[in-house]
Structure 1
Amino acid sequence: MKISVIIPVYNAEKYVTQAVESALQFPEVSEVILIEDRSPDNALEVCRKLAVIYDRVKLYQHPDRGNHGAGPSRNLGIEKATGDFIAFLDADDYYLPNRFNAEREVFKDPAIEGLYGALGVNYYSEKAKNDYYRVFGDRLTTVYQKYHPEDVFPGQLGMRGSFGLIHLDTLTIRKNALHKLDSFFKKTLRLHQDTEFLFRLSFCTNLYPGILDQAIAMRGVHENNRITKVDTKKINPATTRVLLWREVNEWAKSQDAIPGDIKLHITRMTRSFEIAVAPFFKKWFMILKYLITDYPSIRSGLYNINFRRDLF
């Protein structure tokens, strides 16, 4: 198998070398594709050096050399990839030696289109651990049990109770399976574009569990992670997630094959976040409206995603 590992690079000069070298340890990795996204730090120069040192490292920028975000950067990486399989890695994360152990066996079955595993946590400093341990702890980010592929889509949407999450760092997908999607990563989302992508991917392809009980890659947590600013409410999570769910809702409406109960769940999740970000008086009007017409739209937010503290 030939795996193309795609790494979007932004403001990651301290970490990208570790990410690249963690991917190069595997003979199956035929190329590591760096998409440098006009970083304000010295990341471009670090990437240039890596491309000189390692012949499997390929460096690209957007045609206008501008900053476009992680989603469009991954899209460019997919376009440039020559491998039969695609894997993703954030520039401040890294793979562990067991990263592709399951893939070597599972992908012998041509019917299996994608595989996911478990992500661990590494704190790059004591300050990062003190600031963000309450967010990530030492927990694995993973799907908690070995589910059949047909359960993965509703499970990721929150319809299967305590299901768990797929992280992009642990996904390996056949490149030809990606063409089942109407598009890759959405340019309209600066955050959570990976979550939206995984929602659609789990609906359109057969995703199977790999190693779920131990980490196959590590999330690098430091003071400048964009996602930690969301998870610790330096950026309002309801604001970013309402954009995510609106995008998912519009897509779901266009898919005749999605069952009605799943579409209704998506609509209710969207309404829940819209209530969370609404101005004070509009919020109460919306709550009253849905208490009368569609109480589960309130309940979805209050119980499924526990954003009660964002409401008031």
Structure 2
Amino acid sequence: MNISVIIPVYNASEFLGKAVDSALQFEEVKEILLVEDKSTDNSLEVCQKLILKDSRIQLYQHPDKGNHGAGATRNLGLEKAGCEFISFLDADDYYLPTRFDVEKEAFKEQKNEGVFGAIGVEYLSEKGRKEFQDKFKEVSLTTVNFPAEGETVLKGLLGLTSQVFGTFFHLNTLTLRKSVLVKNNLRFNENLRVHQDSDFIIKLAYHGYLKSGIIDKAIAIRGVHDHNRITKIIRYSPQYNQRQFLLWKSLHEWADSNPLPSDCKRKIYLTYKSFDLSLKTGLNKYFCIFLEVIKNPQILKTQYRFTYLNR
């Protein structure tokens, strides 16, 4: 295997060295692409020192040297990546020695276009630990509940399997063939400042053949500290609903232009509409809910129904 590791860099100077070292340990990793997104700390200087450490480490910035967000930053990494396989790593996280164990065998089968696994947690601050556990309880492993591949992955991510599939698998645990991106013109949605990874993964699960790898133990570690965005937004708050609306609006527009299975299209639409309704206000909100229930009674059975009924 030959793997390009894409690391978007924004305000992660204190963690970046460990992330890079964790990728350098693998002989399969032929290049590490640091894509710096106009950090306000000294991340750029750290990157400039790191590229002197190993010839596999490369540094890129956006042409205007500006800040464009995680989606555009990962897309620049995809544009520059030169290897047959691609993996991702957040700058405050790191790989474990088992990171690519399954890939070596799984990609011998040409039908497999992506492999994913489980990610663990390391608490880097007490405040980060408290915020993370307040939101996610005692979840120490982000993973799926059973092995899956092909269409089952897509349906699992959308909550359409008879057995609960689990959470979104983390981008840090995904390895894919670059060819699946090229032939399907897949990129991260740069209009999404958050959740562009979830958007990308669902679209990839439809366009490519994904397979679960190691799902019962971590192959990478997520660093939890004071500044993790994932812990800052209260579930079903107006800000949360707005961000979810933008995610599912992106997926709804994409699903409309692709021949997804009908149950997948329906689930995407109902979820999108639930968050759309949650953002409406006043009497107009209840009028819109009434019309939607008349048209699509199934919306009352979605897990997101209280985002608009109770607020």
Class of the TM-score when normalised by the shorter of the 2 chains: over 0.9
Cα displacement string for residues 70-93 of structure 1 (whole angstroms, at most 9, x for unaligned residues): 111111111111111000011111
In the other structure, the counterpart of 1:217 is 220
Shift of 1:208: 0.5
Q: What does 1:67-146 correspond to in 2, within 5 Å? A: 67-136=67-136, 137-146=138-147
* Cα distance in structure 2, aligned partners of 1:133 and 1:77: 32
* Cα distance in structure 2, aligned partners of 1:307 and 1:198: 26
Select between 30-39 and 221-230 the one with higher mean Cα deviation: 221-230
Select between 61-70 and 139-148 the one with higher mean Cα deviation: 139-148
In the other structure, the counterpart of 1:269 is 271
Select between 205-214 and 261-270 the one with higher mean Cα deviation: 261-270
Partner of 1:173, secondary structure, is strand
Does residue 196 of structure 1 match 2:199?
A: yes
In the other structure, the counterpart of 1:290 is 292
- TM-score of the two chains, using structure 2 as the length reference: 0.94
Shift of 1:280: 3.5
Shift of 1:306: 7.0
Contact 1:230/1:236 (8 A) holds in 2 = yes
Partner of 1:115, secondary structure, is strand
* Cα distance in structure 1, aligned partners of 2:234 and 2:24: 31
User: When the two structures are aligned, how many residues end up with a matched partner?
Assistant: 308
Contact 1:11/1:40 (8 A) holds in 2 = yes
Q: What does 1:53-72 correspond to in 2, within 5 Å? A: 53-72=53-72
Shift of 1:45: 0.4
Partner of 2:14, secondary structure, is coil
Select between 199-208 and 47-56 the one with higher mean Cα deviation: 47-56
* Cα distance in structure 1, aligned partners of 2:276 and 2:60: 38
Contact 1:180/1:204 (8 A) holds in 2 = no
Cα displacement string for residues 33-68 of structure 1 (whole angstroms, at most 9, x for unaligned residues): 000000011100011111111221100000000001
In the other structure, the counterpart of 2:243 is 240
- TM-score of the two chains, using structure 1 as the length reference: 0.93
Contact 2:274/2:308 (8 A) holds in 1 = no
Partner of 2:67, secondary structure, is coil
Contact 1:180/1:205 (8 A) holds in 2 = no
Q: Which runs of 5+ in 1 are unaligned?
A: none
* Cα distance in structure 1, aligned partners of 2:264 and 2:109: 29
Shift of 1:259: 2.1
Residue type of the partner of 1:149?
G
* Cα distance in structure 1, aligned partners of 2:4 and 2:299: 41
Inter-CA distance 231–46: structure 2 relative to 1 (3 Å threshold): farther
In the other structure, the counterpart of 1:30 is 30
Partner of 1:110, secondary structure, is coil
In the other structure, the counterpart of 2:47 is 47
Partner of 1:52, secondary structure, is coil
Cα displacement string for residues 146-205 of structure 1 (whole angstroms, at most 9, x for unaligned residues): 113111112112222521222100000011111233331011111110111111100011
Sequence identity percentage: 47
Residue type of the partner of 1:85?
F
Residue type of the partner of 1:26?
F
Select between 198-207 and 291-300 the one with higher mean Cα deviation: 291-300
